[in-house]
Amino acid sequence: MSNPSQLASTLLFGTGIGCFLITGFGFLLGRISTESLETGIIFPILGLLFIALSRSIDTGHGFLSDSFPSEDDQQLVDRVRSELETTRKENLVGSAWAELEAAVLESELSEE
């Protein structure tokens, strides 16, 4: 398994470079010009945004660093085990409550 933050950072950086490539081809083909603000100006802005997001994930700061944690394989395994154990405990508590409710309802119905 790979580090989620490295994968996300690489993907965002590549997308940013792709946006700059689109901008370059747009200038070469004359579809984007610096004289008028058209929709083509969105691509270099998006390129800068994607590269900035990529760098923020690399440094571990920013709002996307929580979504893409920087953890190695052992930390990932430990986190997943912990989440599975928590889910299992919650399911056990839920089933215990269901059994208790069923017993109470059964006793109430038998009294009537």
Tell me how far apart the alpha carbons of residues 38 and 26 are, in angstroms, rounded to a whole number: 12
What are the C-alpha distances in Å from 75 to residues 30, 56, 63, 66, 70?
50, 21, 21, 15, 9
Answer with the residue of higher pLDDT: 3 or 44.
Answer: 44
Tell me the C-alpha distance between 34 and 37, whole Å: 7
Q: What is the pLDDT of residue 13?
A: 96
Domain ranges of the chain: 1-70, 71-112
* Model confidence pLDDT, tens digit, residues 55-72: 998 888 877 777 777 777
pTM of the model: 0.62
Can you tell me the distance from the alpha carbon of 76 to that of 70, in angstroms, rounded to the nearest whole number? 9
Q: Please state, in angstroms and rounded to a whole number, the distance separating the CA atoms of residues 47 and 20.
A: 6
Question: What are the pLDDT digits (tens) for 15-35?
Answer: 999 999 999 999 898 888 778
